[in-house]
Amino acid sequence: MKKQIKLLSIIAGIVAGVVSSQAQSDKALIDTLVKKGFITTTEAESIKKDASSTAFAAKAKSTKKITFEGRLHFQYDNLSTETESRTAGVTSKVDGSQNGFYFRRVFLGAAADLGNGFGGSITTDFGGVDGTAAVDSAFISWKPGEYEVNMVKAGWDRVAFGVEEFTSSTNIKTVERSIGANYFTRDLGISGRKTGAFVNGGFGTMVPDLTYDLSVTNNDTDTTRTDTHTNGSLSSYAGLANTPRTGDDNSGAVMARLTYAGLKSADYGALKVAVGGGVILDGERNVLNSYNTADTATRWRNAGDVSAFEVSADYTFQDFNLLGTFMMADFQDEVATGQNKDRTPYAMTLIPSYKITPEWEVVGAYSRINANGLNNLSSTSLNRKSTRAGLTTSSASTTTTGTTTTGGTAAFIDTTPTATAPTTPTAATTTVVGAVTGTSTTFDNADQFYAGFNYYIMGNDLKLTAGYEYTKYTDSPNAGTRYETEVQGVRARLQLLF
């Protein structure tokens, strides 16, 4: 009798955990158990009734399976920024900081399997503080099962450029992606999400460890998608209602990457290398409005295509891992007819990590950006931030020679602080404060350092990541005033996946 009760409980649990699209196969299983004498007809009807109370049905009859998933990133930031300017031997500093908790990501997604390799997925981020949400990815997919093609997708997703950006935020080893990854996504619009067609696969037995990723997309970029989605509707982030920038005709973009993972040895570890690149047609318009806007003599007169190149290496030996990436782009800056100047910004990043125990891992990182004359590096964009109410601004302190002024507003990690001038300023003070107030400060070089750890409480499903980061921006193009910005502080993030 006890065995029969246990069997009934197992059967009820199995049946209750499946959706109604599998009802026919479940009915056949129960009928078979009745015929074999394991359960009675009355017990079978009871099981079916209990299962129907917890099952749900997809609207499309062809749907075989629906899978739900969620991601919570609860984060703490304690960061400060200091912008220093020097004019005629006089130094001025403006400080601002942020300290508080917020949800960095609140993801909820669903994936559908329609059978015969067809399906689709939608992932939405509800992490916005203004009640809006953003589409993280949305696509229709097909797994052919032949032709050495793994998956074909049509929709809104990440292009295969930039290893850090292409890697899910659940698997990165630092709290935030590096400034190098953010630069090529947010400022240059090369990597990140775009709308179009995507395909990935391999080369079968010919080269078993060689895989490829290919995308043909619109030239809609991730550069206007903020962390808090303050721009509103879902469609605006998916490129479905894209508002082009001045002169932007939303031309196409083609990206491709090859990855080889066949370099493995028990004595020397495993090395995975990747090489990729592509072209964004008319891509220079993506950064046209932010490039030297105050200097009309060097702004683009015409905007052309942007080509990009990347190489990465991921080395693992026992508990040690080292990821290295290098990305470069080529912008043609046509100052005047017949006077061309190519700009080739690049970014390099190194991320070493070592697992002390299965639960504890120490992580370091270094990232460098050289804009190579674009002069468009801004800590506001590259050091990810929260604009949550109460965390956006802080009391700012402006210090000049012989005078300290407290007041005004300094946006968190902002290189354009506003300072309130003293009541009776000296001549030198007036010059310096005037230079800081309202000045758009961008830079040509940036270096970032990171040291932290990961605590895998329940593997990657429940993980604590924390670390200290320091970023310095140098080589500002502003004439007459030399600027430097430093951003530093501690971040911590608690991750839950389900």
Q: What is the pLDDT of residue 109?
A: 95
Pairing of strands 65-87, 252-265: unpaired
Q: What is the pLDDT of residue 493?
A: 97
Q: Which two tokens stand for residue 327?
A: 């990305």
Q: What is the pLDDT of residue 135?
A: 85
The fold of 65-390+437-497 is Porin (2.40.160)
First to last CA, the chain: 37
Element (H, E) at 333: strand 320-336
Query: Helices in 122-267 by DSSP H: which ranges?
Result: 163-166, 179-182, 234-237
Q: What is the pLDDT of residue 427?
A: 33
CA 98 to the chain's CA centroid: 21
Three-point CA angle 150, 156, 157, nearest 5° = 55
Q: What is the pLDDT of residue 287?
A: 58
Q: What is the pLDDT of residue 397?
A: 53
Q: What is the pLDDT of residue 466?
A: 98
Q: What is the pLDDT of residue 24?
A: 56
Q: What is the C-alpha to C-alpha distance for residues 496 and 103, in angstroms, rounded to an integer?
A: 12
Element (H, E) at 428: helix 427-436
For residue 395, the cross-strand partners are 409
pTM comes to: 0.76
Q: Which residues of the chain have a pLDDT value below 70?
A: 1-26, 48-57, 88-96, 128-132, 220-251, 283-303, 333-341, 385-440, 478-480
C-alpha to C-alpha distances, 236 to 232, 242, 387, nearest whole angstrom? 7, 6, 19
Q: What is the C-alpha to C-alpha distance for residues 49 and 460, in angstroms, rounded to an integer?
A: 37
Q: What stretch(es) of the chain map to CATH 2.40.160.10?
A: 65-390+437-497
Q: Which two tokens stand for residue 225?
A: 């998608």
Q: What is the pLDDT of residue 216?
A: 93
Q: What is the pLDDT of residue 51?
A: 60
Exposure string for 242-277, b = 16+ CB within 10 A, e = fewer: beebeebebeebebbbbbeeeeeeeeeeebbbbebb
Q: What is the pLDDT of residue 259?
A: 96
Q: What is the C-alpha to C-alpha distance for residues 471 and 86, in angstroms, rounded to an integer?
A: 19
Query: Helices in 293-340 by DSSP H: which ranges?
Result: none
Q: What is the pLDDT of residue 35?
A: 82
The sign one gets for the Cα dihedral 353, 357, 360, 362 is negative
C-alpha to C-alpha distances, 278 to 2, 141, 190, nearest whole angstrom? 65, 23, 9
For residue 300, the cross-strand partners are none
